[in-house]
Amino acid sequence: KAGVTQTPRYLIKTRGQQVTLSCSPISGHRSVSWYQQTPGQGLQFLFEYFSETQRNKGNFPGRFSGRQFSNSRSEMNVSTLELGDSALYLCASSLDSGGPNPYEQYFGPGTRLTVT
Amino acid sequence: QQQVKQSPQSLIVQKGGIPIINCAYENTAFDYFPWYQQFPGKGPALLIAIRPDVSEKKEGRFTISFNKSAKQFSLHIMDSQPGDSATYFCAARRKGGYNKLIFGAGTRLAVHP
């Protein structure tokens, strides 16, 4: 099976712009979670989507949003970019039901966002 | 508020040594504890995970020890190799928290030949 894929891999944006990142989960996986990774704050949970609904949210401002499509693919959007949004954005997918370990999460390679 | 405390921040061992990375948690509602390995430029890769009803779990050269009463768990890497040089993260999931993971700060491991 193919792993979690994320596009684009690298992105450079200017303050004030907005950006959309895409994630394709492992085939059959229904849950998609997003994390932000920075040297200062480490890995922080942004939100989780399941069946096209957000069912979990971290402590990030409303500028960060996401959605999930019927094929489980997900996008996250950051509006009005700030310098502090520069980070590696990681997507993780999990089966979420069935099997011995339904909540195991598998991460994609991430999208490196640089805000100038 | 950091709910999973990981130590040490960095660790250097010689090839064949047994690095040990420790994590402590505060919330007794956590019910799933995975460990991830991350190489530069890559996403975290799931290594091994444990639930609180098990005190030890082994997968290949990786072992998790879990002490429920002390609210601590640790990762041991047997016969470490230079290829194990990476950053390791412990994490925890709250019961009923779906797939939200709370991560430790990470440990940068270097295994010297």
Contact B99 A101 (CB under 8 A): no
Beginning with the edge strand found earlier in the chain, give each strand of the sheet holding A19-24 in spatial order.
A5-7, A19-24, A74-78, A64-68
Comparing A107 with B27, the larger pLDDT belongs to: A107
Measured over the CA atoms of residue B44, residue B47, residue B51 and residue B52, the dihedral's sign is negative
Assess whether pLDDT exceeds 90 at residue A2.
no
Question: Using CB atoms, which residue from B43, B101, B105 is nearest to A45?
Answer: B101
Contacts of A39 (CB under 8 A, 6+ apart): none
pLDDT values of chain B reduced to their tens digit, one per residue, 113 residues: 558 999 999 999 999 999 999 999 988 889 899 999 999 999 999 999 999 899 999 999 999 999 999 999 999 999 999 999 999 999 999 888 888 999 999 999 999 99
Q: Is the CB of residue B21 less than 8 Å from the CB of residue B6?
A: yes
Structure tokens at B70: 């002390």
Contact A42 B106 (CB under 8 A): yes
Assess whether pLDDT exceeds 80 at residue A85.
yes
Could you give the angle at the alpha carbon of B65 between the alpha carbons of B63 and B68, nearest 5°?
155
Residue A95 pLDDT level (bands cut at 50, 70, 90): confident
Interface list for chain B against chain A, based on CB atoms closer than 8 Å: 32, 34, 36, 41-46, 49, 89, 91, 93, 97-106
